[in-house]
Amino acid sequence: MSGRIDGKVALISGGASGIGLATAERFADEGAKVAVTDINIAKGQELVTELREKGHDALFLELDVVDANSWRAVVGKIQEEWGRLDILLNSAGIGRAHPLLEMTLEEWRQTTSINLDGTFLGTQAAIRAMKDNNGGSIINISSVLGLIGLPNVSAYAASKGGVRLFTKAAAMECAELELNIRVNSVHPGYIETPMVMRRFNKSEEQNAIDIKELGQQHPLGRLGQREEVAGLVLYLASDEASFITGSEFVIDGGYTAK
């Protein structure tokens, strides 16, 4: 049985939930060896157990994306275990709303450090490892909020806008150094993951109305599914995307096309 990323070694940050989790499953189904990393140890280990039960090569490693040493240790362990690193998905992130006039510097820094600093540290650690195997693919999850602004999400939008341009600059640097490492960003609209669903905390009836209303803000009339994002990430991770670098991929049911 041959998959679209057969034999490749992938590292996923934020792999215990949502988009990271769906991508870990898809990568494994398509033949990759998958290192699931997260600060949520229980959920990460649970996923890896499931993947192994299906006969996949997978391991869980604890990783807080804001910690440079932790990145070095995780990449080192993957190289020790599987001898290389081919794919990095930077999916770890938080999405907290803070009205601009009330936001503290601490709140601003919490969002920008996890979403943006974490992406920088991961990309740097991965490039250092990918140089050893003559290439690779890095996919950074930004957001539609890395392209447009909305009220109450200035820290999140700043972090995701930063991820967008950091991605392009990193891609240019890898190309200039002839590293054969591609770096691209993915910009989802609202996807039905715990990050989005935890905001619906009213009555069941009210939640159904609110979810429908949020879905209808997308011209396709619904929220996105994490598997849909995983399919795009898989494409960018695979050799099918060999001429794509420094690009931004919007997957939002038309949200930003209006």
Residues noted as catalytic: 156
Stretch that binds ligand NAD, among 90-98, 100-108, 130-138, 204-212 (CB under 6 A): 90-98
Nearer to ligand NAD, 13 or 238 (CB): 13
Say which amino acid occupies 130: M
Does the protein bind ligand NAD through residue 147 (CB under 6 A)?
Answer: no
Rounded to a whole number of angstroms, the minimum distance from the CB of residue 133 to ligand NAD is: 24
Nearer to ligand NAD, 119 or 137 (CB): 119
Choice from 12, 157, 191, 236 touching ligand NAD (CB under 6 A): 191
Pair of tokens at residue 116: 């943006």
Annotate 155-173 with DSSP letters as a single string: HHHHHHHHHHHHHHHHHHH
Total residues at interface with ligand NAD (CB under 6 A): 29
In the block, tokens 């398509």 appear at 30
Q: Which of residues 110-129 bind ligand NAD (CB under 6 A)?
A: 114
Binding to ligand NAD by CB under 6 A, coded x per residue (else -) over 196-215, reads x-------------------
Nearby residues of 253 by Cβ (< 8 Å), 6 or more positions away: 189, 218, 219, 220, 221, 222, 224
The amino acid present at 28, given as its one-letter code, is: A
To ligand NAD, the closest distance from the beta carbon of 6 in angstroms equals 25
* Choices 9-17, 53-61, 167-175, 240-248 (CB under 6 A): range interacting with ligand NAD: 9-17
Q: Is 141 in the site for ligand NAD (CB under 6 A)?
A: yes
Q: How far apart are CA 49 and CA 44, in angstroms?
A: 9
| Stretch touching ligand NAD by CB under 6 A, among 4-12, 51-59, 164-172, 188-196 | 188-196
Min dist CB 173 to ligand NAD, Å, is: 22
170 is a site residue for ligand NAD (CB under 6 A): no
What DSSP string describes 36-75?
A: EEES-HHHHHHHHHHHHHTT--EEEEE--TT-HHHHHHHH
Regarding 190 and contact with ligand NAD (CB under 6 A), the answer is: yes
Q: Are strands 181-188 and 33-38 parallel, antiparallel or unpaired?
A: unpaired
Picking from 233, 248, 245, 249, the residue whose alpha carbon sits closest to that of residue 32 is: 233
Torsion of Cα atoms, 198 then 214 then 155 then 149, to 10°: 180
Question: d(Cα 142, Cα 161) in Å, to the nearest integer?
Answer: 7
Q: Which is nearer to ligand NAD, 136 or 253 (CB)?
A: 253
Ramachandran bin of 202, using left for φ above 0, alpha for ψ from -120 to 50, beta for the remaining angles: beta
| Single residue of 11, 19, 157, 232 touching ligand NAD by CB under 6 A | 19
Task: State how far the Cα of 156 lies from the Cα of 32, in Å rounded to an integer.
Answer: 31
Q: Does 75 bind ligand NAD (CB under 6 A)?
A: no
For the chain, how long is the longest CA-to-CA vector? Answer: 56
Site residues (vs ligand NAD, CB under 6 A): 13-14, 16-20, 38-40, 63-66, 91-95, 114, 141, 143, 188, 190-191, 193-196
